[in-house]
Amino acid sequence: MEKRLRQARPFFWENPARRPVAACGEVLAVHAPGVAAARERFTRFAPLLADLFPELRAVGGVIASQLLPIPGLADVWRDPEGNAAFSPERLFLKGDHDLPVAGSVKARGGVHAVLCVAERLALAQGLVSSPQDDYRRLAEAKARTFFAGHRLSVGSTGNLGLSIGVMGRALGLGVDVHMSREAREWKKKRLRDVGARVVEHASDYSAACAVARAEAQGRDDLHFIDDENSLDLFYGYAVAAGELAAQLTAAGLSPSPERPVSLYLPCGVGGAPGGIALGARLLWGDAAVISFVEPVQAPCFLYGLASGRHEAASVAELGLTLATEADGLAVGRPSRFVGRLMEPLLDACVTVADAGLLRHLAALYAAHGIEVEPSAAAGLAGMEVVCGDPDGWRFVRDRKAASGVLVAWATGGRLVPEAEHAAFRTKAAGLAG
């Protein structure tokens, strides 16, 4: 395995520690209440979110994305014998690239984490009397004056920082975003435009998080949101599975053991895909087939799992550089919490090259006019790797995945400047030439 990772070439890895859900009941039971509480918290805050964000008014403050059919990509994925791998009518894109408020999958987790901080502070201060109170009061001048005395802090490669920054500033909280060297300039500018403080680091994501974490220690006015270990973030991501379940049911495609749902989830440190995976296991048990997809230069989750060392394993040990177009996935060490939680729950990991990300980004635009950033094309590229790998295709057949629904999770793109979208497609065209 280590030799394969050092080669920095795409490959499929099946998780040998995966256990049937019947053997994981205790683990799932621990986290089910947290997911339910996150769902309820989003409901409590929905009227406030509708007031704060004009784009949410028509939907009553609900942060949700569409489930998009992508039949035009059916010819892209071939099995080892060159045949079409999947039926066009069973191919979907979960459109978190277009989520309101923050334009990425981080909108759910990041917004939820900010709401958790705000709710704890507001209840302690008496700004609201109970969770049954009208939370629109938190947009009033008294609440904003109080929130101005508190700051949020987070380490980010970009999208999580945007989510925390936009939501935190909308409530009047101060926000410090510690951004690693991979972060793109337009994301830094957007944060500054909403009034967040951007702290730039020449080091990688893990180092930026370490600085932010250390600064917050011992302070009551600085609240560090830990992407590597936060349950608030994790449960916020997990509610997405319930949203997907409703969409599949409405389409007459409810998963079953004979027709499972296969989720291809882009993975950085592991929080967002881990939360979604947990939600899927709680809803569908073994009728969900879950794969995390990482860049060949940053396969930290795969390496942590396969080595058994989790957060102690760094891809730098493999001679890998984190250099990738998928800036949101450029992480050297996995989450300590999520890595261990996912060990018995995750089916597989897949690594993809930048060329695959760009080709699928361009193919998605050509077929359906959908613009995503390279990180968000990881699920699509991962499907190609799985189909073309003999072990991967055996895995698909064994899990009956080809007869079920396949969902590639698109994680970001809405806020990307048009010039950058065009540049990604130009790079893809250059690869095709």
The secondary structure element, H or E, covering residue 407 is strand 405-410
Q: For residue 233, is pLDDT > 60?
A: yes
- pLDDT tens digit string along 339-365? 999 999 999 999 999 999 999 999 999
What average pLDDT does range 323-327 have in this prediction?
A: 93
Residue 317 and residue 287 in one domain: yes
Contact call for residues 190 and 162 (beta carbons, < 8 A): yes
In the chain the first and final C-alpha atoms are separated, in Å, by 32
Residue 159 binned pLDDT confidence (cut-offs 50, 70, 90): confident
Dump pLDDT digits (tens) for 118-128.
999 999 999 99
The pLDDT of residue 395: 96
For 104, left (φ over 0), alpha (ψ -120 to 50), or beta? beta
Q: What number is the average pLDDT over the span 314-318?
A: 95
19 near 344, Cβ under 8 Å?
yes
Q: Are residues 328 and 224 in the same domain?
A: no
Residue 432 has pLDDT above 70, yes or no: no
**Among candidate residues 173, 197, 231, the one where a domain is terminated:** 231
Tokens 């949203």 appear where? 243
- Residue 386's pLDDT band (cuts 50, 70, 90): very high
Looking at the structure, tell me whether residues 175 and 288 fall in a common domain.
no
Q: Does residue 301 share a domain with residue 422? A: yes
Determine the Cα–Cα distance for residues 292 and 286; give it in Å rounded to an integer.
Answer: 16
What is the predicted pLDDT for the residue at 181? 82
Q: Judge if 403 and 263 occupy the same domain.
A: yes
Residues 284 and 412 in one domain: yes
* Mean pLDDT on 393-416: 94
CA angle 157, 218, 161 (to 5 degrees): 15
Closest to 366 in 3D by CA, of 324, 409, 405, 424 = 424
Looking at residue 44, which CATH number applies to its domain? 3.40.50.1100
pTM of the model: 0.95
Q: pLDDT band at 289, cuts 50/70/90? A: very high
Domain end position, chosen among 231, 250, 274:
231
- The parent domain of residue 29 ranges over 2-103+233-432
Does one domain contain both 242 and 267? Answer: yes
Q: What is the DSSP string of 129-144?
A: SSTTS-GGGGGSHHHH
Residues 98 and 12 in one domain: yes
Q: What is the pLDDT of residue 412?
A: 94
> What is the Cα–Cα distance from 343 to 341, expressed in whole angstroms?
6
Examine the domain organization and report whether 350 and 411 are in the same domain: yes
E-assigned strands of 184-279?
Answer: 197-200, 222-225, 261-266
How many domains would you assign to the chain? Answer: 2
What percent of the chain has pLDDT above 70? 100
Task: Please say which residue of 171, 203, 231 terminates a domain.
Answer: 231
